[in-house]
Chains A and B, each alone.
Chain A
């Protein structure tokens, strides 16, 4: 890693939701703050800034990551995805998002974007999870409103629908 001075700005470029971003940032700026405050993203939230709640979860080169535990400079040369990346077409919700709505998987919705990022990444690697596995995956997130029931159902239903859809397509 290049050595950084604590003052001054560093220029970075990375790919956010498929589009290039070029910016100058202070080395100490958190990635979560950069995304929210400098880029105006509203699809990641900050709930603890110490890596426990998961509200700030993004996908970093495809893997779920806590953006509050990263500096913006670490994104340099990488790929970052937020909820916007889920939309299959401009402005539409994908099947997972729709399942959250059907199963009342959110209330205040503050935890939701982070959870969607983890769940989407998880389903890519685990197309047929059990309820216990989904709960285990969700344990990296805190939701204070819902008691988790709706989102567990939504994720399981999405996995099943995707599997059935695949089976039907084959």
Chain B
């Protein structure tokens, strides 16, 4: 036990959470549950169907005529009312809360409708007519770096607005002396932990005070607060952000909602009423945020025995369409610790910020760590493979040596404590590594595909707020002045009856911070945690300012928790002095326990806690000399170790550094390519654990997401910029069947830099698990290049080669292939009780065809066998009005026709063709069809299953109507489900 050990009666013990009763009863008030003022209006957002386009005009005339609609805003309103958001780089990349002149990604907000309720607001979006001129889009990260790539921000003149090069030690010498250079190129995908609760904003502009009063589930509370207040042209205190105590998960993503806060502020100001907006799932997946995908070219200079002499990284970090502050954070957040757990002194890093026509990147749990450790730990595995060594031996050979802490890493991280060798040895022993190896050998003997993976990660926590200034050159930093540090605040108050309340700066999103604060304060004051009331709401107008407050970088245990103890100790000291006076002893003899205060050597003579508190409030004259009155104390904590970057570009990016070592066994199904996790062991040295139950919860949660990243989750884009992952049926989150229970092991090397000895624990497995599983798949398959997520189809391709073409007999004769977007194909037939001639007549007569097409508002003949139609389409969560052009060709009356067409609307575009053949059968006609449709834009994001289902539905409707029409009447009722594209296909 170290002198820093925080263990007390409650702290350090696995305690149940004080938050849970409310949550389990379903009575917690999340942001959307909070009461709003009567008269609150509801917003819906129109979004771009194009990855890149000029906005030629926006016609909002029709919208305002709709019943219940109160206001509509476009980029022009935003430009008039706000300034562009500040960005980290001084580059001409203006961005506003709504698109101005140009859209740069599918899902970018283009206009807002405010109405009496959300249903009306969403309906009204149909009436906004936006004319776009589509521009070439650039999606692939490396494509964006090519000289002839379309420019996302033409004024910048390049899609790489920042490149910085760093050298540590003597990398040239290291690479010259190497026996071998091992290389790997990593293409880390886009993903996000996608909290179950989306963004919620209620903005209420108070004109008299000129205050924007905002209730939201923003996780700031002060991060980017200045960015918002600057944009709104107001002083900080005039932008009041309030956050409820309960948030439905965040994982970093709820920092990226700030443009919507500004947007709703402007809407409220314009309307003169409170405006509420609740993001839906499609909006969140499409347009909220993603961790940057990153291409990393990594090299290791190694000796024959596996010793790594030097590392080279070239990183292309993809920030999508806009660089929203604090981006490009993920590229620099891990900068000091780019050598991971290894003692490597020589390194170069070249960092490129890349812009593409994808959703802007932002903060997501792990914050650059998953990308870095994926490349470093894959590289270590390759070193072993290429040198014919055991991967774990290679890792061990290079670890930071035992006894060398505090250890200064090449790029500046100060790893304050640890014992990596012991952690690995314990994990191997307690986790049964030898056994696992036997299991692998056994499986392989039987011809099964089995692999073992390892990963070692140094887990950083509590970011040095100066890390991002590393992106500036030394000269620029000198000019701007030093930036560093991290300040935390907690307030503890005691009322006259001894009631204790706590407020703190951490804005929890499920981690259980209130429980740990209650444990800390209860220990200090001799009370039970359930006697401590923690109010975890935040209000930027009342609570102390620090850019560092909020919920990120696993900062709670090493910052807010410490400030909580400081505040509680101040209260304790005061109460001890008051009690000492009454008990006639010196304050250092005073103890607190079981709601009583007493002298250590005379516990029977005690005073009730509440009584002493009452004295402090009611009898100021009885207070010891010089004691300031009142029982409300603020604890402020800022560790001195977080210095700004030095002139050698070294930066201690975090305060504490824990250690994670994982190993796992996976088996791959040879037929399906499915990766089954057979065993997973994760060892954590996170310093002192404040509550082991909650610490394990963090590990399980991060592991669950790590499994998702490794095997399932990706924001997928088509080459043309269509977004393909707009539902939870397309963005695949692992369920209880996919996430096994890992074996968690602990070791405690307390941090000497924080009074509680605690380090972070919430992000380690986001960094270790994806690469540990990938290394196991590499071990099983021998593959070098693995791109996450390792879905069955990808793994099957690895082990079986590409899928062979279908045998000639099964090949579909049908239609020529079409390129791009989400492709849908289908075929079928139906019997229509009318002669082929009658069916033919129905299909080629615009009047009758209009009745057959589901959702058709109008159909006009615009040329020989060419039509223009206006059709409503709705699939799952998305719906809208489309303009379609349709042409009939290859007409062979009354036998067959080829129908081709395309359509354009707020959901994107679709192009398709279909072949229809009519064959007489039993007095009627057998109508057979084969269609093929390519969908891009919003509709593409809702995914195969929904689109296919909707297609079938529309096809059925079409034929029902065709039957009815050929019998001389339309089917009853307006059918409003339609998938036009299908129809195009079918109609054919």
Give A residues with C-beta under 8 Å from B.
Answer: 3, 26, 28-29, 36, 41-50, 52-53, 55, 82-84, 87, 91, 93, 97-98, 100-102, 104, 106-113, 116, 134-136, 138-152
Which of A36, A52, A150 touches B729 (beta carbons < 8 Å)?
Answer: A52
Q: Is B25 in contact with A45, judged by CB distance below 8 angstroms?
A: no
**Across-interface contacts of A112 in B (CB, < 8 A):** 23-24, 26
Task: Give, as a whole number of angstroms, the nearest-CB distance from B285 to chain A.
Answer: 9
**A28-B117 Cα distance, complex, nearest whole Å:** 13
**B707 to chain A: closest residue by CB:** A147
Q: Is A97 in contact with B735, judged by CB distance below 8 angstroms?
A: no
Q: Is A109 in contact with B700, judged by CB distance below 8 angstroms?
A: no
Number of interface residues, chain B, beta carbon within 8 A: 59
Q: Is B16 in contact with A108, judged by CB distance below 8 angstroms?
A: no
Task: Give, as a whole number of angstroms, the nearest-CB distance from B35 to chain A.
Answer: 9
B831 at the interface (CB under 8 A from A): no
Given A42-B33, A104-B17, A108-B510: A148 in contact with B24 (beta carbons within 8 A): no
**A106-B693 Cα distance, complex, nearest whole Å:** 12
**B741 to chain A: closest residue by CB:** A149
Q: Is B28 in contact with A97, judged by CB distance below 8 angstroms?
A: no
**Across-interface contacts of B737 in A (CB, < 8 A):** 135-136, 138-139
**Across-interface contacts of B282 in A (CB, < 8 A):** 50
**B249 to chain A: closest residue by CB:** A108
Q: Is B729 in contact with A83, judged by CB distance below 8 angstroms?
A: no
**A136-B19 Cα distance, complex, nearest whole Å:** 28
A-B contact list, 5 entries, CB within 8 Å: A26-B119, A46-B32, A108-B510, A144-B249, A147-B739
B615 at the interface (CB under 8 A from A): no
Which one of A29, A41, A110 has the greatest number of beta carbons of chain B within 10 Å? A110
**Across-interface contacts of A150 in B (CB, < 8 A):** 697, 700
Given A52-B727, A149-B741: A111 in contact with B696 (beta carbons within 8 A): no
B280 at the interface (CB under 8 A from A): yes
Q: Is B735 in contact with A93, judged by CB distance below 8 angstroms?
A: no
**Across-interface contacts of B727 in A (CB, < 8 A):** 48, 50, 52
Q: Is A110 in contact with B20, judged by CB distance below 8 angstroms?
A: no
**A28-B874 Cα distance, complex, nearest whole Å:** 14
Type the 1/0 row for B485-511, where 1 means its CB is closer than 8 Å to any CB of A. 000000000000000000000000111
Type the 1/0 row for B507-533, where 1 means its CB is closer than 8 Å to any CB of A. 001111000000000000000000000
Task: Give, as a whole number of angstroms, the nearest-CB distance from B31 to chain A.
Answer: 11
Which of A29, A91, A108 touches B197 (beta carbons < 8 Å)?
Answer: A108
Interface segment out of the listed B188-196, B537-545, B776-784 = B188-196
Which of A83, A110, A142 touches B25 (beta carbons < 8 Å)?
Answer: A83
Task: Give, as a whole number of angstroms, the nearest-CB distance from A87 to chain B.
Answer: 7
Q: Is A84 in contact with B26, judged by CB distance below 8 angstroms?
A: yes
Q: Is B728 in contact with A104, judged by CB distance below 8 angstroms?
A: no
Which of A45, A97, A139 touches B30 (beta carbons < 8 Å)?
Answer: A45
Which of B32, B512, B733, B741 touches A107 (beta carbons < 8 Å)?
Answer: B512
B694 at the interface (CB under 8 A from A): yes
**A131-B246 Cα distance, complex, nearest whole Å:** 30
Which of B119, B251, B512, B696 touches A28 (beta carbons < 8 Å)?
Answer: B119
Q: Given known contacts A93-B21, A138-B737, A139-B736, what 5 new A-B pairs fall within 8 Å (CB)?
A: A48-B281, A50-B281, A109-B20, A116-B24, A144-B196
**A124-B17 Cα distance, complex, nearest whole Å:** 27
Which of A45, A111, A147 touches B703 (beta carbons < 8 Å)?
Answer: A147
Q: Is B27 in contact with A43, judged by CB distance below 8 angstroms?
A: yes
**Across-interface contacts of B17 in A (CB, < 8 A):** 101, 104
**Across-interface contacts of A144 in B (CB, < 8 A):** 193-196, 249, 251, 701, 704-705, 733
**Across-interface contacts of A41 in B (CB, < 8 A):** 26
**A44-B511 Cα distance, complex, nearest whole Å:** 21
B29 at the interface (CB under 8 A from A): yes
Given A42-B26, A50-B876, A83-B25: A110 in contact with B701 (beta carbons within 8 A): no
**B281 to chain A: closest residue by CB:** A48
Task: Give, as a whole number of angstroms, the nearest-CB distance from A123 to chain B.
Answer: 15
Task: Give, as a whole number of angstroms, the nearest-CB distance from B576 to chain A.
Answer: 34
**A140-B25 Cα distance, complex, nearest whole Å:** 21
Task: Give, as a whole number of angstroms, the nearest-CB distance from B304 to chain A.
Answer: 41
**A107 to chain B: closest residue by CB:** B510
Q: Is B248 in contact with A108, judged by CB distance below 8 angstroms?
A: yes
**A86-B168 Cα distance, complex, nearest whole Å:** 61
**A80-B694 Cα distance, complex, nearest whole Å:** 34
Type the 1/0 row for B605-632, where 1 means its CB is closer than 8 Å to any CB of A. 0000000000000000000000000000
Q: Is B248 in contact with A45, judged by CB distance below 8 angstroms?
A: yes
B686 at the interface (CB under 8 A from A): no
**Across-interface contacts of B281 in A (CB, < 8 A):** 47-50, 53
Those 9 A-B pairs whose CB atoms lie nearest each other, nearest first: A43-B26, A108-B510, A147-B704, A109-B23, A110-B248, A107-B510, A147-B700, A52-B728, A83-B26
**B248 to chain A: closest residue by CB:** A110
B247 at the interface (CB under 8 A from A): yes
Task: Give, as a whole number of angstroms, the nearest-CB distance from A6 to chain B.
Answer: 8
**A109-B736 Cα distance, complex, nearest whole Å:** 16
Q: Is A109 in contact with B19, judged by CB distance below 8 angstroms?
A: yes
Residues in B410-461 with C-beta less than 8 Å from chain A: none
**Across-interface contacts of B27 in A (CB, < 8 A):** 42-43
**Across-interface contacts of A93 in B (CB, < 8 A):** 21, 24-25
Q: Is A108 in contact with B195, judged by CB distance below 8 angstroms?
A: yes
**A147 to chain B: closest residue by CB:** B704
Task: Give, as a whole number of angstroms, the nearest-CB distance from A150 to chain B.
Answer: 7
Q: Is B25 in contact with A91, judged by CB distance below 8 angstroms?
A: yes
Q: Is A101 in contact with B119, judged by CB distance below 8 angstroms?
A: no
**A29 to chain B: closest residue by CB:** B119
Q: Is A142 in contact with B733, judged by CB distance below 8 angstroms?
A: yes
**A108-B26 Cα distance, complex, nearest whole Å:** 12
Residues in B632-646 with C-beta less than 8 Å from chain A: none
**Across-interface contacts of B697 in A (CB, < 8 A):** 104, 107, 146, 150
